[in-house]
């Protein structure tokens, strides 16, 4: 009887999750973010990710303007170039290696695989995480599934071909495999963080401490060795990328006003030069709060993973797709104490990630600046910390 009841609950959860995915997919399609008319694909962010390794495959150096920017180098897109930041790619050299498998395919095929595969991987990963944290909460399954595809960050991820779904899947895989003692898999999956290391500035050390306190030192070792190998290989194959990246990307960013979706950017708009220092003080204060949670528990991860998006030095609104992960983890922590409260947390998180992000996107379109969207990860962090606070240091 208990087995039958468990299977029934699992089927209910799965059905609720599928309903959420279908509804989220409907919103995604109806919003028009999944439409790529004419040559839009060639101007997408994915085309830029793809063009670098494709050039390397053709014997070109994407960080050498003398061989890279060439009218004959179409690469399946409409003259890929970098008019906003010089003539080199905006990403780190090791990202070229991470994207290399997709460069073996034509642009359209690679983009389709990237988008469909990313959504499928993220959906499967989030479902696996929900089963381990919020089993028996079908409303959470539906709302989280809808949020995964229908939030403004998710819609923008699909439109631009960004990393959001792939990184979400990799982050969940790292958490689950570390928890289950599959250290090698956990370490290898974390290599995806190198694609956008600025987003994991607090996530990476928090995960390492969590793994260490749970006795998973091998996961840390594998991640360190594999990451160092990828970085080293990028320096061998593309020895000029650090100098080119610093010249064309890092240096202009230091000397210009902050324009990205960071807390420093929005506070700079209100207070001028003191703004970034105020943002730094807020982040330090939030980090101090995070240390109240037991580093062996999910509450620790939920707090740090959400704060990492607040502290990221370079971030855009589409990167907020990752906030679904701490929302699920935090919901699981709250569910141990109160069923009504976890429902409220998931509903509030959904409203933030689906409704508020959409409103802020409309505001951003009018301002031609999306700095206000920086409040989204801060709100998610505050929501989770407030809800999880009674559970701090629970293991002790």
- Note whether 186 and 216 are within 8 A (CB): yes
Instruction: Write the pLDDT tens digit of every residue in 115-168.
Output: 999 999 999 999 999 999 999 899 999 999 999 999 999 999 999 999 999 999
Buried b (16+ CB within 10 A) or exposed e, 73-83: bebbbeebbbe
How many domains, in total, are found in the chain?
1
pTM for this entry? 0.92
Where is pLDDT greater, at 135 or 82?
A: 135
Distance, in Å, from the CA atom of 352 to the CA atom of 64, rounded to the nearest integer, reads: 43
Looking at the chain, the whole-number percentage of residues with pLDDT higher than 90 is 65
Tell me which residue of 344, 351, 327, 383 sits closest to 126, measured CA to CA.
327
Task: Over range 179-204, report the average pLDDT.
Answer: 94
CA distances from 276 to 52, 230, 264, 305 (A): 33, 33, 4, 21
- The separation between CA 219 and the C-alpha centre of its own chain, rounded to angstroms, equals 21
Confidence of residue 254 (pLDDT cuts 50, 70, 90): very low
Confidence of residue 85 (pLDDT cuts 50, 70, 90): very low
Contacts of 40 (CB under 8 A, 6+ apart): none
Instruction: Write the pLDDT tens digit of every residue in 208-231.
Output: 999 999 999 999 999 999 999 999
Structural domain includes residue 47: yes
pLDDT of residue 129: 97
pLDDT score of 74 more than 60 = no
pLDDT of residue 43: 76
pLDDT of residue 347: 97
pLDDT of residue 255: 42
Averaging pLDDT over each range in 41-45, 66-70, 81-85, 218-222, which range is the top one?
A: 218-222
Confidence of residue 3 (pLDDT cuts 50, 70, 90): low
Confidence of residue 48 (pLDDT cuts 50, 70, 90): confident
Confidence of residue 82 (pLDDT cuts 50, 70, 90): very low
pLDDT of residue 191: 95
Task: Over range 313-340, report the average pLDDT.
Answer: 94
Structural domain includes residue 69: yes
Structural domain includes residue 62: yes
pLDDT of residue 55: 83
Where is pLDDT greater, at 242 or 278?
A: 278
Task: Over range 323-330, report the average pLDDT.
Answer: 98
Structural domain includes residue 396: no
pLDDT of residue 269: 86
Looking at the chain, the whole-number percentage of residues with pLDDT higher than 70 is 88
pLDDT score of 86 more than 50 = no
Mean pLDDT, the chain, rounded, equals 88
Instruction: Write the pLDDT tens digit of every residue in 11-44.
Output: 998 999 999 999 999 999 998 887 776 566 777 8
Distance, in Å, from the CA atom of 330 to the CA atom of 24, rounded to the nearest integer, reads: 22
Structural domain includes residue 168: yes
The tokens describing 263, both together, are: 């807390």
Instruction: Write the pLDDT tens digit of every residue in 87-110.
Output: 556 788 899 899 999 989 988 899
Structural domain includes residue 374: yes
Where is pLDDT greater, at 91 or 5?
A: 91
pLDDT of residue 4: 76
pLDDT of residue 83: 41
Query: Which structural domain, as residue segments, surrounds residue 53?
Result: 2-391
pLDDT score of 295 more than 50 = yes
pLDDT of residue 77: 47
Task: Over range 40-68, report the average pLDDT.
Answer: 80
pLDDT of residue 102: 92
Structural domain includes residue 264: yes
């Amino acid at each position: 009887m208990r087995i039958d009841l468990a299977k029934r609950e699992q089927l209910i959860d799965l059905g609720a999750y599928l309903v959420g995915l279908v509804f989220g997919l409907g919103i995604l399609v109806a919003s028009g973010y999944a439409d790529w008319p004419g040559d839009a694909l060639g101007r997408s962010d994915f085309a830029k990710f793809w063009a670098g390794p494709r050039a390397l495959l053709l014997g070109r150096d994407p960080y050498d303007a003398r061989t890279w920017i060439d009218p004959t180098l179409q690469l399946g897109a409409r003259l890929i170039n970098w008019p906003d930041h010089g003539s080199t790619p905006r990403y780190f050299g090791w990202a070229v290696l991470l994207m290399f498998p997709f460069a073996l395919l034509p642009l359209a095929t690679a983009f389709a695989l990237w988008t469909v595969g990313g959504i499928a991987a993220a959906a499967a990963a989030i479902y696996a995480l929900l089963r381990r944290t919020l089993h028996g909460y079908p409303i959470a399954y539906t709302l989280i599934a809808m949020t995964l595809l229908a939030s403004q960050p998710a819609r923008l991820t699909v439109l631009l071909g960004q990393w959001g779904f792939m990184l979400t899947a990799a982050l969940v895989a790292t958490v689950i495999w570390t928890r289950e003692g599959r250290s090698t898999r956990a370490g290898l999956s974390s290599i995806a963080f190198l694609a956008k290391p600025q987003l994991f500035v607090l996530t990476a050390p928090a995960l390492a401490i969590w793994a260490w306190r749970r006795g998973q030192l091998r996961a840390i070792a594998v991640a360190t060795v594999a990451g160092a190998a990828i970085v080293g290989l990028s320096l061998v194959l593309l020895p000029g990328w650090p100098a080119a990246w610093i010249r064309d990307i890092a240096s202009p960013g230091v000397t210009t006003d902050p324009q990205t979706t960071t807390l420093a950017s929005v506070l700079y708009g209100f207070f001028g030069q003191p703004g970034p220092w105020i943002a730094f003080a807020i982040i330090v204060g939030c980090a101090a709060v995070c240390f109240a949670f037991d580093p062996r528990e999910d509450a620790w991860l939920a707090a740090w993973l959400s704060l990492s998006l607040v502290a990221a030095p370079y971030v855009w609104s589409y990167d907020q797709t990752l906030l679904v992960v701490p929302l699920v983890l935090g919901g699981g922590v709250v569910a141990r104490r109160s069923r009504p409260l976890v429902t409220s947390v998931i509903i509030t998180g959904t409203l933030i990630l689906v409704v508020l992000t959409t409103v802020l996107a409309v505001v951003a379109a009018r301002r031609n600046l999306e700095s206000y969207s920086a409040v989204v990860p801060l709100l998610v962090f505050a929501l989770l910390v407030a809800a999880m606070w009674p559970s701090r240091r629970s293991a002790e």
